[in-house]
Amino acid sequence: MNFEQSVFVIGMGYVGLPVSIELAKVGYSVVGFDSSSEKIRDLGNGYSHVEGAASADIRQLLASGQLEFSDNPSRVSECSIVIIAVPTPLDRSNIPDLSSVTSACRSISSFLRKGTLIINESTSYPGTLREIIRPILDNGLTDSGVQYACSPERVDPGSKNFGFRNTPRLVAGLTQESVTRAYELYSKFVEEVIQVSSPEVAELAKLLENSFRQVNIALVNQLVPYCKELNIDIREVIDAASSKPYGFMRFLPGAGVGGHCIPIDPLYLSWKAKQAGIHLSLIHAADQVNKEMPTYVAKRLIELADLTYGTKALLLGVTYKPGVSDLRETPAKEIANYLTSEGIEVFWNDPLVNEFESVKKWNPSILVQGAIVVTAQPGLDIHSVVGSGVPVLDCTGTFKGIKGVSQL
């Protein structure tokens, strides 16, 4: 491997694997690292576990020698650039959990060569690169010769409009040289790369992007019960407001928020602000509104279908967004939990999902008394459910106008 043209990507998940593929396609020699030997084995055999990362691409790049996979952290010594792309979830107390980031850094710290550029793509709060990553990798040295930059990931799973190449990327670093190197790297496979003044700006921008979405989704979600009281269609209201050509941006209500960003990133921001003695009350309020939606829609279904103890309910579409099989933070989980707590037996149907929690998969031979569309999954069979006379609550607005379907 050519050291200068080799990249070591840590974390073969929703971010790291697609990044590895894109880098390999533009000519870099890429080592995809993950601590899971099972995952590395499957990838080495050409099987992708990530939507948006095609197995055919992996096999082609493996055959060409541009891409390989390893669970050996010492191989970082062969690469001049390291990209950290590991999960940054919340713990049970809704506190940022950076254990994957710190573990990744510790696993490679003793193998780094001088001149290596570290780029963090993992979403986190301002100061992560400077205060968490750098101290671990510098090993207490005042000048380790290692350089540091960040480029927070921007991935929209299942999107047909935006991918790696046409989604602008932010880059920042602790030195001008690190910024320049990061800029050059991303410019090879991203159409627009934007340099900002510090890693903290880039880190905070990522959190702002998703806090913006959280707050605006919460606003329309909070209006749902009021619109029901007034017998007004909330989506018609949004359509009407959207006719204004300035000063308004369209957000839609739903059963809750899910995925790896909206339910999590804003709480990284509020937690970090709290360390500085600042309470971001709007973010906390928005988080609370959106967390209450699964319970609200479950109650709406109970009311609509007159569900009682021992009856059966069906969840239609259980992923957090249509067109993907991703179940991370899906509101369907909390809807199922609430219905189950009320003694209602829950089933699910989703053409893109194989398993959902411990909930039983539905088949047409199972008679249910009520159904709820959580996610308007392509290929979802709603007509056979409605045709059997089962009342349906549609949280997505997709099936408006169908007899027997009520709107959120």
Decide: 173 and 148 in contact? Cβ < 8 Å.
Answer: yes
Give the per-residue pLDDT at 141: 64
pLDDT band at 155 (very low <50, low <70, confident <90, very high): confident
Distance in angstroms (rounded) separating the CA atoms of residues 340 and 343 = 5
User: Is 105 an active-site residue?
Assistant: no
Give the per-residue pLDDT at 234: 96
Q: Which residues pair with 315 in a beta bridge?
A: 348, 372
**Model pLDDT for residues 12-35, shown as the tens digit of each residue:** 999 999 999 999 999 999 999 999
**Model pLDDT for residues 344-375, shown as the tens digit of each residue:** 999 999 999 999 999 999 999 999 999 999 99
Check pLDDT > 90 for residue 183. yes
Q: Which helix (H) or strand (E) holds 70?
A: strand 67-70
Decide: 9 and 20 in contact? Cβ < 8 Å.
Answer: yes
Give the per-residue pLDDT at 139: 81
**Active-site position among 150, 227, 261, 395:** 261
Give the per-residue pLDDT at 308: 96
Q: Is 224 exposed, middle or buried (CB count within 10 Å of its CB: 0-12, 13-18, 19+)?
A: buried
Check pLDDT > 90 for residue 162. no
Q: How many Cβ atoms sit within 10 Å of the Cβ of residue 373? A: 26
Average pLDDT value for residue range 64-68: 96
Give the per-residue pLDDT at 140: 62
**Model pLDDT for residues 283-296, shown as the tens digit of each residue:** 999 999 999 999 99
Check pLDDT > 90 for residue 157. no
Q: Could you tell me which of 27, 25, 31 has the C-alpha nearest to residue 43?
A: 31
Give the per-residue pLDDT at 384: 87
The token pair that represents 199 in the structure block: 């890693």
pTM (predicted TM-score) = 0.92
Check pLDDT > 80 for residue 385. yes
Decide: 393 and 408 in contact? Cβ < 8 Å.
Answer: yes
Give the per-residue pLDDT at 161: 86
Check pLDDT > 90 for residue 41. yes
**Model pLDDT for residues 300-338, shown as the tens digit of each residue:** 999 999 999 999 999 999 999 999 999 999 999 999 999
Domains annotated for the chain, with CATH where assigned, are 3-196 (3.40.50.720), 234-407 (3.40.50.720)
**Model pLDDT for residues 81-98, shown as the tens digit of each residue:** 999 999 999 999 999 999
